[in-house]
Amino acid sequence: MNIPFVKLHGAKNDFLLTPLEDALRAGEEAYPAIAVAICDRFTGVGADGWMLVDRTPGRGFDASIRLFNSDGSEPELSGNGTRCAAALLARENPHLTEFRIRTGAGIKHLRLLAHSGFEYMFEMNMGEPRVVELRATVQGRDAVLVDVGNPQCVMPVENFDFDWRAVGAAVEHDLGFPNRTNVSFVRPVDRHTVEVRFWERGAGETNSSGTGSTGAAAAGLARGIVASPVTVVTPAGPLAIRFENGVFLSGPAEFVAEGFYMHGKIGSL
């Protein structure tokens, strides 16, 4: 079967978006396997995740999304991915500037800040982060455990001159996290700036992460390392975060390509 997709990236965290009605033909039980196949960067289209978009509005929301990581697992939330979904809705509804999207972590509100060509800038209300454990020790390292709609293990570091990818993989699968965890390594730059590297549950290393940036900023605020507003410097560029009755994340979403994923094995997955 052919699976239509629109590819977008949010600060080089990339996603393939497919209308839910086009995925239903494959059957819900096939979604994880399709996600693995379509996200493969050598034999598929290539992405950090595959997202199903249901444009059916409901009580308090304009559309719903389901996200599958490149390993087929289904996370609760992606900040960058939700912005990509909002960009798709904004392209289809150019008269709108406010969007309410239902995610696995509840309804998220996004506001369009700017639009130029294929790129959209949004501010997203990430909700209220919850510090689960302010001073934890994970794999022998100092950490802050934060819930931002999905689990975050935030590790303060002085630099990135170590194999943080290996550490991230080990922490993701640490027995203390039965459902695995996202991992971020945070280097303070100044009172309003941190630099971060990301290891995401189910996707591995990513160029940026909306929820990871939110968790990093929330952990830094809880530890007294930073103050609002916070600029999170990622390998893909900066994301802006402010704390005001919740956390608001600002960042881009950009269209990359559209097409069909064709795979003869999909029908039997």
Is 182 in contact with 200 (CB distance < 8 Å)? yes
pLDDT value, residue 154:
98
Q: Across residues 185-208, what is the average pLDDT?
A: 97
The lowest-confidence range among 88-92, 126-130, 262-266 is 262-266
Cβ neighbours around 36 below 10 Å, total: 18
Asked whether the predicted pLDDT for residue 265 surpasses 80, the reply is: no
d(CA 11, CA 2): 28
d(CA 177, CA 170): 11
Q: Across residues 51-77, what is the average pLDDT?
A: 97
Q: Across residues 186-204, what is the average pLDDT?
A: 97
Global pTM value: 0.93
At 266, is the pLDDT very low, low, confident or very high (cuts 50, 70, 90)?
A: very low
Asked whether the predicted pLDDT for residue 269 surpasses 90, the reply is: no
Average pLDDT score over the chain: 96
pLDDT value, residue 264:
58
d(CA 117, CA 243): 30
Please give the share of the chain, as a percent, with pLDDT higher than 90.
95
**Residue 257 identity:** A
Is 45 in contact with 16 (CB distance < 8 Å)? yes
pLDDT value, residue 263:
66
Q: Mind listing the domains of the chain with CATH numbers?
A: 2-126+253-268 (3.10.310.10), 130-245 (3.10.310.10)
The lowest-confidence range among 1-15, 96-110, 253-267 is 253-267
* Backbone φ, ψ for residue 197 (5° rounding): -120, 145
